[in-house]
Structure 1
Amino acid sequence: MAITAQIEREGLLAVIRRRYFSSLSNAILSIVSFALLAYIFWTVFDWAILSAVFSDAGGPEACQQTDGACWAVIDSRWRLILFGLYPHEEHWRSGLACIVVVLMTVLSCIPRFWSGKAISIIWIGGFATFYFLMKGGIFGMPLVDEQQWGGLSLTVFIFVSTALVGMPLSIVFALLRRSELPWISRLTGLIIDSVRSLPLLTILFTFAVVLPFVLPDWASGDKLYRVILGSALFFAAYQAEIIRGGMQAVPKGQEEAAKALGIRYGARIRRILLPQAFKSALPATINQFVITFKETSLVIIIGFFEILASGNAAYGRGEWTFAYVEVYTFIALIYFAFVFSLSRYGAYLERRMDIGDR
């Protein structure tokens, strides 16, 4: 915003001259840096576009005759990367389920739906639609077990499930930790600090492998849902501290005034404390969502066929083993699209709320 204002006030050429060519040393450094960036850009552009092979019509042999990228592996294996082990004839369900999640996320970002009731309806309804599309067994759709889920749809399912379970749990943790009863606040603090002191991979391994040995068969459940619970607990422990920090930023006089007016505890929390706490904690909350989405890749360690494992399988076959860079680049672009969108939306919310405060 500051640079834009300077350009409007002084002009583009004047800003460039002052920032990059104000002295001889700055001019030399700027020219060398621009030349290096141009060389890197041209090298990547030539590798990724000009000299690349995009179609798998010629097979792997066509890629070995050029120095460019072999995007033919994506053309040949994109279904495996995006859908994993999901039945081929039912891929439309997996793709439609991912579109439902994207639509659910977009609706959640529209200010018109920023109320507890509307957000709950959107997320619960969207998640239920996603689950029944993936699982099937209704409306004539064949049943597909969770063991056959994979690729991008499994990554999205783990992320959405973690957020859907972890966010309410984090609010409960934050409220319990600020309880006026010492034994409740201290016990909750012990749980939160214990979970935060452990690596996520340790928690996922414990829920996936160790927990069935200490629970009866009827209570152990499917491994996928145990992993989601472990991920949600880890998310809730960190998010609870973020929310509690936001609560501490709310002036105490507001809650005391609400008590004096006879407003009940639930209404005070729902209408006064939490809205302001989430507003103060917005940047850290967006960052926590970004971290959670990236950490879904850890489930590959405990045997799930998410998008990273699907990518490994895509180039793991003998004829495509040389194209691992292209496969990982494609997966990185998918992660970038999700994470960059979240971060830009977080920046938009910060600007919007700053404007509203003036």
Structure 2
Amino acid sequence: MSATFVADPSVVPAQKRRPPEAPSALSVIGRELFGTLPRAIGTAIFAVPIAYLAWRVLDWAVLGTVWRADGVEQCKIAAGACWSVIAARFRIILFGLYPYEDQWRSVLASLVIVVVAFLSCLPAFWTARRIIVCWAVGFAAYLVLMYGGILGLDKVTTDRWGGLSLTLFVFAAQTVIGMPLAILLMIARRSQIFVIAKLSAGLIDLLRAIPLLAILFTAAVVAPLALPEMLQGDKLTRVVIGYALFFAAYQAEIIRGGMQGVSEGQAEAARVLGLGKWQTLFYISLPQAFHKALPATVSQFAIAFKETSIITIVGFFDILASGHAAYGADEWYPYFREVYIFIGMIYFVTVFSLSRYGAFLERRTKNARA
């Protein structure tokens, strides 16, 4: 007599079981805000003042605003913001002291920096030769447009540069100069030669211990007193070098932290495959170190962009100083909030774009490793 076994349809093999569906965002929000009676009461208590503040901000920023006005008189009778101050004073905000008739050059120079930065983010340009050529051509075009003196362009000295174009230049220059310096400092600090390692470590610790403002003052004011005239250079050049050294000191430690997370087995495997010391460093260890240090690197870039505003203290007219001058006129002074919100949005868009690009790089490297 043979027995017949009937499989229980409720028992599903583990390999065929479907994973439970993730709850929707609305259900999670509803559970967190109203899942229990205390949560519902707390939500009701805090929702009222938050809704009131949101309405006040909306009413001030959008509903009761003056978007376009022939003069400041229309803003005086408005209940909300006066965004017409941006339309009336945007040239000062974006171009600072740059000559009025040549401000088109400042626009093109800013576009050059933005385009070069965008091209650098494309994987097709991720080779040393292409990156170097791209930034060399970009900086040359920027300097020709901003400084002039050739191709029929009037000369505009760096003390008259200002606004957004100066902010972008200082940020781009300090990062392009500072990143290679950071790699060199990291390599020197990890050197087997005692003197080189200690000198590099001392320089990094010294630059990290000194406030950025002190470094900029040294570059702008003290350096001309200590250096011969032929080595003094331009004031903006000295300040950018100070920025780059400060950036390099912090970035070197970030990369070194990433290097410490790379397994020694990677280098041993590379040596087994016949790669030399420098090939192992640049093709095996450094890419992995940058991947591990990517979040901190993106944060460092964001900090570097925001710290460009300190340049105004040493006598340059960056976008923040230009914004102050824009509402400095008596009739526009009450509307300084609108000016700073506009400038803040420029900083926000730039930093947010950096963070999104960092997230893209993390996803790309994670998918490549998978």
**TM-score normalised over the length of structure 1:** 0.93
Secondary structure of the 1:10 match is coil
1:326 maps to 2:364: no
Correspondence list, 1:1-358, <5 A = 9-57=22-70, 59-358=71-370
Secondary structure of the 2:317 match is coil
Distance change >3 Å, CA 156–CA 8, structure 1 → 2? farther
- Mapped partners of 1:250, 1:193: distance in 2: 23
CA contact (8 A) 1:158 1:296 kept: yes
**Per-residue Cα deviation, 1:96-141 (whole angstroms, up to 9, x for no partner):** 1111211112212222222222222222222222222111223222
- Mapped partners of 2:121, 2:275: distance in 1: 30
Q: 2:16 matched to which residue of 1? A: none
- Mapped partners of 1:355, 1:254: distance in 2: 20
- Mapped partners of 2:25, 2:211: distance in 1: 48
Distance change >3 Å, CA 157–CA 7, structure 1 → 2? farther
Structure with greater helix percent: 1
Worse overlay, 238-247 or 9-18: 9-18
**Per-residue Cα deviation, 1:31-80 (whole angstroms, up to 9, x for no partner):** 333333322222111111111112230x1222111221111211111001
**Per-residue Cα deviation, 1:184-223 (whole angstroms, up to 9, x for no partner):** 1011100100110111001111111111111011111111
Secondary structure of the 2:335 match is helix
CA-CA distance at 1:295 after TM superposition: 0.2
Matched to 2:30, the amino acid is R
CA contact (8 A) 1:7 1:15 kept: no
- Mapped partners of 1:159, 1:147: distance in 2: 17
Matched to 2:191, the amino acid is S
**TM-score normalised over the length of structure 2:** 0.91
- Mapped partners of 2:306, 2:23: distance in 1: 41
Distance change >3 Å, CA 148–CA 7, structure 1 → 2? farther
CA-CA distance at 1:12 after TM superposition: 5.0
Matched to 1:178, the amino acid is R
Q: 2:6 matched to which residue of 1? A: none
Q: How many residues align?
A: 352
- Mapped partners of 2:362, 2:116: distance in 1: 21
- Mapped partners of 1:303, 1:32: distance in 2: 49
Distance change >3 Å, CA 112–CA 305, structure 1 → 2? same
Unaligned runs of 5+ in 2: 1-18
**Per-residue Cα deviation, 1:151-191 (whole angstroms, up to 9, x for no partner):** 01001111111011111111100000000001110111001
Distance change >3 Å, CA 353–CA 56, structure 1 → 2? same
Worse overlay, 203-212 or 138-147: 138-147
Distance change >3 Å, CA 29–CA 355, structure 1 → 2? farther
- Mapped partners of 2:275, 2:24: distance in 1: 56
CA contact (8 A) 1:127 1:160 kept: no
Larger Rg: 2
- Mapped partners of 1:261, 1:319: distance in 2: 72
Worse overlay, 32-41 or 306-315: 32-41
- Mapped partners of 1:263, 1:238: distance in 2: 30
Unaligned runs of 5+ in 1: 1-5
RMSD over aligned Cα atoms: 1.8
Distance change >3 Å, CA 13–CA 249, structure 1 → 2? closer
CA-CA distance at 1:262 after TM superposition: 4.3
Distance change >3 Å, CA 150–CA 258, structure 1 → 2? same
Distance change >3 Å, CA 197–CA 339, structure 1 → 2? same
CA-CA distance at 1:327 after TM superposition: 1.0
- Mapped partners of 1:137, 1:174: distance in 2: 39
- Mapped partners of 2:185, 2:93: distance in 1: 37
CA-CA distance at 1:314 after TM superposition: 0.6
Distance change >3 Å, CA 13–CA 191, structure 1 → 2? closer
CA contact (8 A) 1:83 1:153 kept: yes
- Mapped partners of 1:118, 1:39: distance in 2: 53
Secondary structure of the 1:76 match is helix
- Mapped partners of 1:352, 1:32: distance in 2: 43
CA-CA distance at 1:261 after TM superposition: 4.6
- Mapped partners of 2:241, 2:64: distance in 1: 46
- Mapped partners of 1:109, 1:268: distance in 2: 24
